[in-house]
Amino acid sequence: MSSGLVGESRRSVAVVLGTRPEIIKLARIIQLLGDRATVVHTGQHYDASLSSSFFEEHGLADPDVQLGVGGLRRGGQVGQALADLDGLFDRHRPDVVIVQGDTNATLAGALAANSASIPLFHVEAGLRSYDSAMPEEHNRVLTDHVSDVLCAATKLNADNLALEGLADRAVITGNTVVEAVARQLPAAPDRRGVLERYGCDDAGYVLATIHRPENTDDPEKLGDILRALGACGRQVLLPLHPRTRGAIERHGLQPLTDGLHVVDPLGSRAFLALANHAALLVSDSGGVQEECTVLKRPLVVVRNSTERPESLERFARLVQPDALLGAITEVLEAGPEHLAELADLPSPYGDGFASERIVAHVLRIADDDREVEA
């Protein structure tokens, strides 16, 4: 563990994160906090293509503290990060801790803050899939129940929290993904350059990402997904997450990728540029379910369940792998008319000022605590 945490009085907000989506969604919050933020990376995502490159791309300095839990199983990641954070907060106690989402890093940061009685903000609180088979569901529920301020992205998220007796801790802020997309989407000439680099025709291709264990750990499901992508009749660009690449090799499914344009993981700007012009997105990512509503592109979600039903109202549909080809065909046949309908719809995730609202709440709590101590 590198101990870059410093004890100056103004570095009072610890931002604990561990994965690519957390970097994306917390980047604006970190920037707004300025020198009051201390960024702690647990190392859950440790591949450069999923971690360090995203700090640079989002205009962030390297993390102040880098832990080393990557490669451990879920229990080991949470346990090791909790122990490291407990010691860190004992040596350099922050005024506030911020966590985001539903990762192992989120849960470890939440438990460490709660153990030390440090005010805890949960960004993107109140999401529920009601699917107990998802580790993320347990992470987000546990984090919500130990948090002091619950930053709910939507009214539905706030309603979920109210059903669990947490209404008095919740505030509706919008989702930081809206400003993340607005800030990271390249201008039109730069987007054209990205499309040319990957050999994609404007609005004629499918962009797919698959990484969740429910799909990658099951060779039948992963095979169904790859077969559907290969049979859809369109160019398919498939950035491969390291987990997915390993699963394809382990299950002997390499022949099913022969007709697909397989590339390494994409940075935020390249992914958004390609997503912005795709005829269809196919993914099991939670973040893509939100991003599609800002980009106004249709999405087929390949999962058992989703914690983002707001996206399913107009922008996305949820299917199992064995029904993927039919869903892809339906959306593509709807063509430009469907894209025109989506273009006029507002995103259900807010107006692009979630980070400002969250930081205002954070600094109010941090400064109030300082005044009490003084």
Write the CA distances from 149 to 10, 27, 134, integer angstroms.
21, 19, 24
Among 66, 83, 128, 100, residue whose Cα is nearest residue 362: 100
**Residue-by-residue DSSP string for 245-292:** HHHHHHTT-GGGGTTSEEEPPPPHHHHHHHHHH-SEEEE--HHHHHHH
Beta pairing, strands 205-209 & 170-172? unpaired
Q: Quote the pLDDT of residue 54.
A: 76
Which residues of the chain are under the pLDDT cut of 70?
1-11, 45-52, 203, 369-374
* H or E element that contains 22: helix 20-33
pLDDT reported for residue 4: 44
What pLDDT digit, counting tens, does each position of 60-94 carry? 999 999 998 877 788 889 999 999 999 999 999 99
Q: How far apart are CA 1 and CA 115, in angstroms?
A: 21
Check residue 13 and give its pLDDT. 98
Q: Which of 29, 27, 115, 24 is nearest to 357 (CA)?
A: 29
Q: Domain locations in the chain?
A: 2-176+352-373, 187-343
d(CA 103, CA 17): 8
pLDDT at 6: 43
pLDDT at 306: 97
Q: What is the pLDDT of residue 202?
A: 73
Residue 262: predicted pLDDT = 97
Q: How far is Cα 79 from Cα 186, in angstroms, rounded to an integer?
A: 39
41 among known catalytic residues? no
The string of DSSP codes covering 291-343 is HHHHHT--EEEESS--S-HHHHTTTEEEE-GGGHHHHHHHHHHHHHHHHHHHH
User: Do 2-176+352-373 and 187-343 agree at the fold level?
Assistant: yes
The pTM of this model reads 0.92
Q: Which of helix, strand or coil describes residue 42?
A: coil
Please tell me the distance from the alpha carbon of residue 285 to that of residue 210, in angstroms, as a whole number: 7
CATH class of 187-343: alpha beta
Distance CA 369, CA 168 (A): 19
Backbone angles phi, psi at 37, to 5 degrees: -90, 135
Distance between CA atoms of residues 146 and 114, nearest Å: 6
pLDDT at residue 3, rounded to an integer: 44
Q: Are 67 and 99 in contact (CB under 8 A)?
A: no
From the list 45, 211, 241, 277, the catalytic residue is 211
- Structure-token pair, residue 98: 């911020």
Superfamily name and number for 2-176+352-373: Glycogen Phosphorylase B; (3.40.50.2000)
